[in-house]
Amino acid sequence: MLKTTFFGKGLKNPLVLASGILGTGSDILNRVGKYAGLVTTKSIGPVERLGNKNPCVLEVAGGIINCVGLPSPGYLHLEEEIHGINTPWIASIYGHSVGDFVKIAKHVSGFNPDFIELNMSCPNTSDGMAFATNKDASIELVKEVKKTTKIRVIAKLTPNVTNIVEIAKSVESAGADAITAINSVGPGMIINADVKKPVLSFKTGGLTGPMIKPIALRCVYQIYENVKIPIIGTGGILTGTDAVEMMMAGASLVGIGSATYKEGVNAFARIAKELESWMKANGYKEVKELVGIAH
Ligand SMILES: Cc1cc2nc3c(=O)[nH]c(=O)nc-3n(C[C@H](O)[C@H](O)[C@H](O)COP(=O)(O)O)c2cc1C
């Protein structure tokens, strides 16, 4: 009942491990792959990078705030990380320039990921990398990466823009095969009254988890109405019903990140079970029937 396809790739269910929460190592990705249709690596960058100091991931009311800041082994070490991967996977990549993305996309294509996801914006780094907040930069990035690889390319968008539809249309026109929406919201800040200072080492951090679900649903809903390419709806999914709502908004697949923070890999088995129960109780036979029905 949960089986689906994405660009002809058979998936056991529509659930996708979102980038960055459980790392890049094939051991953990294979473990998640027992329960998720697709798994995404943590974004891989141009050079080895430590990321920000602790504290950089904290629970807040309604979710998580993080400023991990894209720690990465660097793309030249990808082989050690991904060696032995035996589950459908998405290689997430980031760069500081179009040239970085092109170089990394070329390299990761050699490992034959099922998809390449462009992390076009990370709010938690001082060097910005905000391709997805600019229409022309998004177009150039997607066009150049598409020229470099035969692997299908997914553009991951940030909600931190005035008009996400404009960016979604831009990446579609540039040849993106699919869109992941959304990355973290913010940045936000937490201050400790006793210490009288911001708590996170980077001072600000991206917000994720249930508090961002309404924003993610709105973004996916709007994108679905304006582009034809499929969407991986991500943001605040904790339950099977959340996944149903995300597909109703227009997502073909559903990304899950913060739900694994407390529950680990088990989140996928639980959410899949809940999704199946909901479908049975409501008379649906295939997940594709749910896509976009809230419109
Ligand atoms: C600790 C942490 C690290 C993340 N790292 C990445 C990353 O490397 N690349 C990326 O594209 N998104 C990254 N994200 C964003 C997630 O992939 C996802 O878009 C976001 O968390 C919203 O989904 P959620 O509410 O289910 O967590 C990260 C999120 C968290 C909480």
pLDDT tens figures, 163-185: 999 999 999 999 999 999 999 99
Q: Please give the backbone phi and psi of residue 49, each rounded to the nearest 5 degrees, phi first.
A: -145, 135
Question: Which one of 21, 32, 131 would you pick to mutate in the ligand 1 pocket, going by the greatest count of ligand atoms within 8 A of its CB?
Answer: 21
- Ligand 1 binding pocket includes 66 (Cβ within 6 Å): yes
Position with higher pLDDT, 131 vs 228: 228
pLDDT digits (tens, 9 = 90+) for 242-265: 999 999 999 999 999 999 998 999
Helices 240-249 and 213-226 cross at an angle (nearest 10°) of: 30
CATH architecture of the domain formed by 4-50+72-188+209-290: Alpha-Beta Barrel (3.20)
Task: From the CA of 56, give the closest atom in ligand 1.
Answer: 1
Please tell me the predicted confidence (pLDDT) of residue 125. Answer: 53
Query: For this structure, is 122 an active site residue?
Result: yes
Task: From the CA of 210, give the closest atom in ligand 1.
Answer: 25
CA 45 to chain centre: 15
What's the predicted TM-score (pTM) here?
0.97
The proportion of the chain whose per-residue pLDDT surpasses 90, expressed as a percent, equals: 84
Distance from residue 280's CA to the centre of ligand 1 (Å): 31
Residue position matching structure tokens 């129960």: 277
Task: From the CA of 256, give the closest atom in ligand 1.
Answer: 26
pLDDT at 111 over 60: yes
Each domain of the chain, given as residue ranges in start order, spans: 4-50+72-188+209-290
Distance from residue 17's CA to the centre of ligand 1 (Å): 10
Radius of gyration of the chain (CA): 18
